[in-house]
């Protein structure tokens, strides 16, 4: 597309599809790594078409996402998946880690294919529009000790607002109050809820106290834990995103 050859890994269900899930890798990463990190390919056993696309910008041993240019590619990928697997009418979920979550946030508010669920891990960003023309269920996760994408925001243009500000912006765009209801699930896991939990435009931010730049529920090697920080096992990001999509 656009003169560039792009990779799209797909886990296909055995029967009629119940959903399409597009899972985006983080910056400098690859679709193959996102398969292992997210553990979402197994959701094909539940009927989902699960796709792992590749970013367009070469970066170290992997790729990064072009927030503007890659929207058209992702729309084309969703069209392809819908036509190939006879899944045009099923719910669409876009998910991602870090830079992939940032791209998923952009696509969910600007793509021409309506997104029912946005699953953002360590990278939720504000929607591009102030009010959405259709509800987007947001399920986000972030560690309070994330050094790469700090919970409170950072000094770079790509990470200027805090995660709380991003979640509040999604709540406003979905027609809800920007003030969340706080529920302590465990001493190190807090759920911030914007709008009723069963609302199609509800926003849920899971705050993982002490966790780093990691995907909750996924085990990492010692070397990666030392670099990325602690993993939260009080919740499972993959299971929560799938739960929201199953209810869509």
What pLDDT, on a 0 to 100 scale, did the predictor assign at position 248?
87
What pLDDT, on a 0 to 100 scale, did the predictor assign at position 222?
87
What pLDDT, on a 0 to 100 scale, did the predictor assign at position 158?
85
Domains in the chain: how many in total?
1
The residue segments making up the domain with residue 64 are 8-246
Is 53's pLDDT higher than 80? yes
The answer to whether residue 2 is domain-embedded is: no
Mean pLDDT of 201-215: 98
Q: What is the domain-level CATH number for residue 141?
A: 3.40.50.1820
Q: Give percent of the chain above pLDDT 90.
A: 92
The answer to whether residue 39 is domain-embedded is: yes
The answer to whether residue 3 is domain-embedded is: no
Mean pLDDT of 231-236: 96
Is 82's pLDDT higher than 90? yes
Mean pLDDT of 58-73: 94
The answer to whether residue 189 is domain-embedded is: yes
Is 32's pLDDT higher than 80? yes
What pLDDT, on a 0 to 100 scale, did the predictor assign at position 5?
81
What pLDDT, on a 0 to 100 scale, did the predictor assign at position 157?
84
What pLDDT, on a 0 to 100 scale, did the predictor assign at position 138?
98
The answer to whether 73 touches 56, Cβ cutoff 8 Å, is yes
Q: What is the mean pLDDT of the chain?
A: 96
What pLDDT, on a 0 to 100 scale, did the predictor assign at position 155?
87
Mean pLDDT of 103-117: 97
C-alpha–C-alpha distance, residues 93 and 245, integer Å: 7
The answer to whether residue 165 is domain-embedded is: yes
Mean pLDDT of 135-162: 95
């Amino acid at each position: 597309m656009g003169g560039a050859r792009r990779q799209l890994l797909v886990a296909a269900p055995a029967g009629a599809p119940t959903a399409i899930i597009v899972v985006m890798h983080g910056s400098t990463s690859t679709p193959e790594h996102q398969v292992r990190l997210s553990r979402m390919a197994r959701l094909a056993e539940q009927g989902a078409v699960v796709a792992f696309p590749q970013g367009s910008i070469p970066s170290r041993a992997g790729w990064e996402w072009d927030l503007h240019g890659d929207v058209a590619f992702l729309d084309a990928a969703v069209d392809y998946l819908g036509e190939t697997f006879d899944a045009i009418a099923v719910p669409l979920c876009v998910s991602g880690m870090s830079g992939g979550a940032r791209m998923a946030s952009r696509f969910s508010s600007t793509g021409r294919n309506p997104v029912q669920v946005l699953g953002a891990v360590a990278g939720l960003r504000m929607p591009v529009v102030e009010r959405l023309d259709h509800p987007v269920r947001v399920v986000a996760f972030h560690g309070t000790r994330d050094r790469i994408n700090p919970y409170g925001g950072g000094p770079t243009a790509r990470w200027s607002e805090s995660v709380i500000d991003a979640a509040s912006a999604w709540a406003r765009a979905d027609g809800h109050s920007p003030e969340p209801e706080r529920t302590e699930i465990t001493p190190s896991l807090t759920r911030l809820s914007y709008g009723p939990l069963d609302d199609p435009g509800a926003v849920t931010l899971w705050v993982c106290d002490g966790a780093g730049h990691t995907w909750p529920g996924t085990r990492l090697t010692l070397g990666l834990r030392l670099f990325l920080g602690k993993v939260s096992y009080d919740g499972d990001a993959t299971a929560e995103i799938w739960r929201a999509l199953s209810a869509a």
